Structure 1
Amino acid sequence: MRARVEDDAQGRRQVYEACFEPCAIEKGMRIIGGKWTGSILWHLKDGPVRFNDLARMVGGASKKMITERLRQLETQGLVRREVMDTAPVSVHYEITEFGRSALGFLDELRKWSEGLPQEIHADG
């Protein structure tokens, strides 16, 4: 955070704290704020999950989108991918310890969201 000084509409000096990159909130949102990211992490909390099972758990997301998110999460170190030596080949995904560190506030977000008034809709 840095301070920025500007004159307001009445000509008074105002000091604003500006969030310049990397702002901690913005950085966190870039990591877990992508569509389906929180849901994927949440569904991996209880143990390894096969790709097709995960795709069923994350309703509304295409397999292509889930694949993209899983690759991103793997690159960021939040998820681990394991190819099982079976016939046919099976792929499991598992949350890492780093990924688990997000579960606390994802659970708080879940609780907060469940408590929202019915007239508040997530789609706008």
Structure 2
Amino acid sequence: MRARVDDDESGRRQVHDACLEPCAIERGMRIIGGKWTGSILWHLKDGPVRFNDLSRMIGGASKKMITERLRQLEAQGLVKREVLDTSPVSVHYEITDFGRTALGFLDQLRQWSEDLPEGIAEASGA
């Protein structure tokens, strides 16, 4: 449902028919907008990656945070986890076909971010 905004007789803004559920952008951000989520998917785009290699690729994120995000992504069907029968046992992660559907706009986000005017990234704390 789409919200309609207009002014009443006193000039105050009134919202009519507001959405009770999150809009499509909000739903998408709830899935992909978590810290490190996009980075994890991006680093899995070229094929399976072992957990320790993935944690090295994502500088600044703790192993605990990466584990938490990977579990969320797996539960959402964006990432597949596979335990390898090696000695010692290791685990690798792979992006699913569904997860690959996010790569297009992640690449657009990457490009947009690279094209930001000088000073904007610094001002945002990035």
Given the two structures, how large is their TM-score scaled by the length of structure 2? Answer: 0.87
- How far apart, CA to CA, are the structure 2 residues paired with 1:110 and 1:13? 37
Corresponding residue for residue 125 of structure 2: 123
Count, aligned residues: 124
1:14-73 CA distance string (max 9 Å, x none): 666744313100000000000000000000000000000000101110000000000000
Q: Secondary structure at the match of 1:2?
A: coil
- How far apart, CA to CA, are the structure 2 residues paired with 1:50 and 1:99? 17
- How far apart, CA to CA, are the structure 2 residues paired with 1:48 and 1:105? 21
Alignment pair present for 1:113 and 2:113: yes
RMSD: 2.2
- How far apart, CA to CA, are the structure 1 residues paired with 2:17 and 2:55? 42
- How far apart, CA to CA, are the structure 2 residues paired with 1:93 and 1:64? 15
Structure 2: unaligned runs, 5 residues or longer: none
Given the two structures, how large is their TM-score scaled by the length of structure 1? Answer: 0.89
Matches within 5 A, 1:45-60: 45-60=45-60
- How far apart, CA to CA, are the structure 2 residues paired with 1:37 and 1:5? 34
Alignment pair present for 1:38 and 2:38: yes
Deviates more, 1:79-88 or 1:19-28: 19-28
- How far apart, CA to CA, are the structure 1 residues paired with 2:5 and 2:109? 34
- How far apart, CA to CA, are the structure 2 residues paired with 1:49 and 1:84? 12
Offset, 1:2: 3.0
User: CA 1:46 to 1:6, structure 2 compared with 1: closer, same or farther past 3 Å?
Assistant: same
